[in-house]
Chain A
């Protein structure tokens, strides 16, 4: 089957207050924000499973009025699987997609292995915390945040060693790899020169080699943005509560 990611437009206008709701045309729809790491989990899962979908980007700084009608959560990601039927929460969405589209499964069939993979995703909380804090409120980063962050990197690397496979999910990336990738993507760009969050290649050689492989994955590559865009987008947080949406027009 042809690779659908080649024809999906990820870079549509971020709809805002006053913008009309695009009519639903029967295709699986992802309500997204181009650089939201939680929403990216949905994009990666769909890409990896070669499912066709359309993207409706949302300006989270000034949301369109119709978003609350779609889901009481009023956040992205959101998927609309048929007109008016939506699912929210990034991990719930991905588990749904994996169950509803059984080819190219992302989660293992074995119940223990599946549980252990979900545990790894849950365990990456300290990485999520550090990335979010360093972008939105770096002055609130504590010693404990940093020490838990490094403990978590150790934990991920230990899991790679323990499993002895190319990816945490096995010979191919799976649920666990795609769910944690968005945070590593940001760490590698936004925190590249950050002493508090730098990944020493001498200490984390295996982890870095794994991340290099992930960066070349066919589900991930079509969605990457140039480093300058990633950095410029987050600049907005330095002077206000929102990122710089205008940067996304440059993609």
Chain B
């Protein structure tokens, strides 16, 4: 996986015949689709793009120029994470990630929708901290309460069941980033283990899931990227070590 983010002027890498996901290394929405691809053991190419200086060709795949976008056939793409993930689950039915019961699927979708205000609270706290109000913290805590209660109600190791499913992979990228908030000077957003024991246990379990392990980043890394973005100079290539400024010949990381 190349950590380099392609930008305006960079050419589109040639199509290799594999599914190709356009993403940004630190984007939680794109991560949803990476996790699903990993979990379903589908082979894919991953291309990161610089969201501040977008390569022109991304608009051919997604008119909004947003990630994630999935090139499912040469030159043809579908987008937004939820649409991509349902497509993947249907097209590649081995390792099914959606609930099999239509009611449960609907309830999972409602859970994601209810969690959205905690996601918004995270974005405000991380990227517009000056706009944090008591209601921001309240919405964030409501989201944590929601997951804690749901885990209690379902009584399984993961929200989906004994194994993680689409619902877990949809929510995980945000929980991953929530842990960065105390490092960004926002202690009121820390997840108190004594209050959220089930949730914290769940988060530890998710970190050990192979699909997540292959892509997850530490809270310190998210905090560093977030700070660079807030400063107005997002360091997209933070993790790219392909061009080391060292005289010693070194194998390029692909």
Q: Verify that A and B bind, or say they do not.
A: yes
Q: A88 on the interface (CB 8 Å rule)?
A: yes
Within 8 A of B (CB), among A69-111: 72-73, 81, 85, 87-89, 92-93, 95-96, 99-100, 111
Query: Inside 8 A of A95's CB, which chain B residues have their CB?
Result: 105-106, 109
In Å, the complex CA distance between A49 and B102 comes to 17
Closest 7 CB pairs of A and B: A99-B102, A111-B90, A96-B106, A115-B87, A115-B78, A111-B91, A92-B109
Number of A-B residue pairs with CB-CB distance less than 8 Å in the complex they form: 56
Tell whether, in the assembled complex, residue B103 and residue A100 are in contact, meaning their CB atoms are under 8 Å apart.
Answer: yes
The contact string, 1 if C-beta is below 8 Å from chain A, for chain B 49-84, is 000000000000000000000001100001110011
Tell whether, in the assembled complex, residue A81 and residue B103 are in contact, meaning their CB atoms are under 8 Å apart.
Answer: yes
Tell whether, in the assembled complex, residue A112 and residue B113 are in contact, meaning their CB atoms are under 8 Å apart.
Answer: no
The winner among A92, A115, A119 for most chain B CB atoms within 10 A is A115
In Å, the complex CA distance between A118 and B79 comes to 10
A119 CB, min distance to chain B CBs, angstroms: 6
Within 8 A of A (CB), among B93-136: 102-103, 105-107, 109-110, 113-114
For A117, the closest partner residue in chain B by CB is B83
A99 CB, min distance to chain B CBs, angstroms: 4
Tell whether, in the assembled complex, residue B106 and residue A122 are in contact, meaning their CB atoms are under 8 Å apart.
Answer: no
For A82, the closest partner residue in chain B by CB is B103
Tell whether, in the assembled complex, residue A88 and residue B110 are in contact, meaning their CB atoms are under 8 Å apart.
Answer: yes
Q: B234 on the interface (CB 8 Å rule)?
A: no
For B108, the closest partner residue in chain A by CB is A92
A69 CB, min distance to chain B CBs, angstroms: 16
In Å, the complex CA distance between A28 and B105 comes to 18
Q: A92-B110, A115-B83, A115-B87 are in contact. Are A87 and B103 (CB under 8 A)?
A: yes
Q: A196 on the interface (CB 8 Å rule)?
A: no
Query: Inside 8 A of B90's CB, which chain A residues have their CB?
Result: 111, 114
For B146, the closest partner residue in chain A by CB is A72
Tell whether, in the assembled complex, residue B103 and residue A93 are in contact, meaning their CB atoms are under 8 Å apart.
Answer: no
Q: B86 on the interface (CB 8 Å rule)?
A: yes
Query: Inside 8 A of A73's CB, which chain B residues have their CB?
Result: 110, 113-114
Tell whether, in the assembled complex, residue A112 and residue B105 are in contact, meaning their CB atoms are under 8 Å apart.
Answer: no
Tell whether, in the assembled complex, residue A89 and residue B113 are in contact, meaning their CB atoms are under 8 Å apart.
Answer: yes
Interface, chain A (partner B; CB < 8 A): 72-73, 81, 85, 87-89, 92-93, 95-96, 99-100, 111-112, 114-116, 118-119, 122
Q: A89-B113, A112-B78 are in contact. Are A118 and B83 (CB under 8 A)?
A: yes
Tell whether, in the assembled complex, residue B83 and residue A119 are in contact, meaning their CB atoms are under 8 Å apart.
Answer: yes
Query: Inside 8 A of A119's CB, which chain B residues have their CB?
Result: 78-80, 83
Query: Inside 8 A of A122's CB, which chain B residues have their CB?
Result: 80, 83
Contact of B109 among A89, A112, A116 (CB under 8 A): A89
In Å, the complex CA distance between A111 and B19 comes to 15
Query: Inside 8 A of A93's CB, which chain B residues have their CB?
Result: 106
In Å, the complex CA distance between A107 and B104 comes to 19
| 9 A–B contacts from the bound complex (CB under 8 Å) | A92-B110, A96-B103, A96-B105, A111-B91, A112-B73, A115-B78, A119-B78, A119-B79, A122-B83
A220 CB, min distance to chain B CBs, angstroms: 24
Q: A99-B105, A111-B91, A114-B90 are in contact. Are A92 and B113 (CB under 8 A)?
A: yes
For A92, the closest partner residue in chain B by CB is B109
B79 CB, min distance to chain A CBs, angstroms: 7
B81 CB, min distance to chain A CBs, angstroms: 12
B60 CB, min distance to chain A CBs, angstroms: 15
In Å, the complex CA distance between A105 and B185 comes to 51
For A121, the closest partner residue in chain B by CB is B83
Known contacts A73-B113, A112-B87; 15 additional CB pairs below 8 A are A73-B110, A87-B106, A88-B110, A92-B110, A95-B105, A95-B106, A111-B91, A112-B73, A114-B86, A115-B87, A116-B78, A118-B83, A119-B79, A119-B83, A122-B80
B87 CB, min distance to chain A CBs, angstroms: 4
Tell whether, in the assembled complex, residue B102 and residue A96 are in contact, meaning their CB atoms are under 8 Å apart.
Answer: yes
Tell whether, in the assembled complex, residue B110 and residue A87 are in contact, meaning their CB atoms are under 8 Å apart.
Answer: yes
Query: Inside 8 A of B113's CB, which chain A residues have their CB?
Result: 73, 88-89, 92
In Å, the complex CA distance between A92 and B87 comes to 16
Query: Inside 8 A of B80's CB, which chain A residues have their CB?
Result: 119, 122
A87 CB, min distance to chain B CBs, angstroms: 5
Query: Inside 8 A of B103's CB, which chain A residues have their CB?
Result: 81, 85, 87, 96, 100
In Å, the complex CA distance between A112 and B79 comes to 11
In Å, the complex CA distance between A89 and B78 comes to 23
Tell whether, in the assembled complex, residue B107 and residue A87 are in contact, meaning their CB atoms are under 8 Å apart.
Answer: yes
For B114, the closest partner residue in chain A by CB is A72
